[in-house]
Amino acid sequence: MHNTTRPSPVRRAACAMLMAAAGLLSSAAGAQQFDARGIARTESVRHDFDGNREAIQVRVDFAPGASFPKHSHPGVEIAYVLSGTIEYDMNGKTFRLQAGESLYIPAGAAHSARNVSTGVTAELATYLVEKNKPIVVLEK
Which CATH number does the domain housing residue 53 bear?
Answer: 2.60.120.10
Q: Reply yes or no on whether the pLDDT at 30 is more than 90.
A: no
> How much of the chain exceeds pLDDT 70, in percent?
78
Give dist(CA 123, CA 35) in Å, integer.
16
Give dist(CA 72, CA 63) in Å, integer.
21
> In the structure, what pLDDT confidence band is assigned to residue 31 with cuts at 50, 70 and 90?
low
> In the structure, what pLDDT confidence band is assigned to residue 32 with cuts at 50, 70 and 90?
confident
This prediction has a pTM of: 0.76
Give the domain extent around 133.
Answer: 39-138
The pLDDT assigned to 16 comes to 46
Give which of 104, 105, 70, 64 is closest to 85, Cα–Cα.
64
Q: Is residue 72 part of a domain?
A: yes
Q: How many domains does the chain have?
A: 1
Q: Is residue 118 part of a domain?
A: yes
Integer angstrom CA distances of residue 65 from 4, 15, 39, 47, 118:
53, 38, 10, 32, 7
What pLDDT digit, counting tens, does each position of 74-128 carry? 999 999 999 999 999 999 999 999 999 999 999 999 999 999 999 999 999 999 9
Give which of 75, 89, 66 is closest to 126, Cα–Cα.
75
> In the structure, what pLDDT confidence band is assigned to residue 70 with cuts at 50, 70 and 90?
very high
The pLDDT assigned to 7 comes to 54
Give which of 80, 67, 77 is closest to 124, Cα–Cα.
80
Q: Is residue 23 part of a domain?
A: no
Q: Is residue 44 part of a domain?
A: yes
Q: Is residue 30 part of a domain?
A: no
The pLDDT assigned to 6 comes to 55
The pLDDT assigned to 97 comes to 98
Residues 46-57, mean pLDDT to the nearest whole number: 94
Q: Reply yes or no on whether the pLDDT at 12 is more than 80.
A: no
Q: Is residue 126 part of a domain?
A: yes
Q: Is residue 22 part of a domain?
A: no
Q: Is residue 102 part of a domain?
A: yes
The pLDDT assigned to 3 comes to 44
